[in-house]
Amino acid sequence: MILRAIRWVLGQLILFGDWLTRPKPPQHTPEEQAALDAQTANLALYQFRLCPFCVKVRRTIHRLGLNIELRDALNDPRYRAELIEQGGQHKVPCLRIEEDGKIRWLYESSDIVAWLEERFGKA
């Protein structure tokens, strides 16, 4: 109970720190944003709101100006089950990538950040 409370307070502090220091997203023209949105429509991030590793990935998404669907794998039983059954483990963050008719589940915040940077960093 106390541990849960401490975790919650720490989580709120991380969210507040993220909000305070969040970098500005790049200015995309509506056409550029539409093109990016089309490229990210096949992506979904399974995550917890208060997980620091998820905050790290969400900051990258924000910094790159991407719109990627966020799926709450803690409170939404459907997404939790999808992550375990299809991804293989209940660990977040995990990026679901649908490409060429195949689905890939990319775990590890650093690997997700590197993948996003490589794909969208120079856009």
Ligand X SMILES: N[C@@H](CCC(=O)N[C@@H](CS)C(=O)NCC(=O)O)C(=O)O
User: According to CB under 6 A, which residues from 97 to 116 bind ligand X?
Assistant: 108-110
Cβ-based nearer residue to ligand X, 18 or 108: 108
Asked if 91 interacts with ligand X (CB under 6 A), we say: yes
* CA angle centred on 106, ends 92 and 73, rounded to 5°: 30
- Reading the block at residue 63, the tokens are 């910094």
Nearer to ligand X (CB atom), residue 57 or residue 64:
57
Helices 52-63 and 2-21 pack at an angle, to 10 degrees, of 20
Cross-strand partners of 103: 98
- Closer to ligand X by CB, 45 or 51: give it: 51
The binder of ligand X chosen from 93, 96, 116, 120 (CB under 6 A): 93
**Which residue, 52 or 65, has its beta carbon nearer to ligand X?**
52
| Radius of gyration in angstroms for the set of CA atoms belonging to the chain, rounded to a whole number | 15
Taking the complex as a whole, the smallest distance from the CB of residue 30 to ligand X amounts, in Å, to 33
Applying CB under 6 A, among 65, 90, 97, 115 the residue interacting with ligand X is 90
Q: Is 62 a binder of ligand X (CB under 6 A)? A: no
Residues that bind ligand X (CB under 6 A): 48, 51, 53, 90-93, 108-110
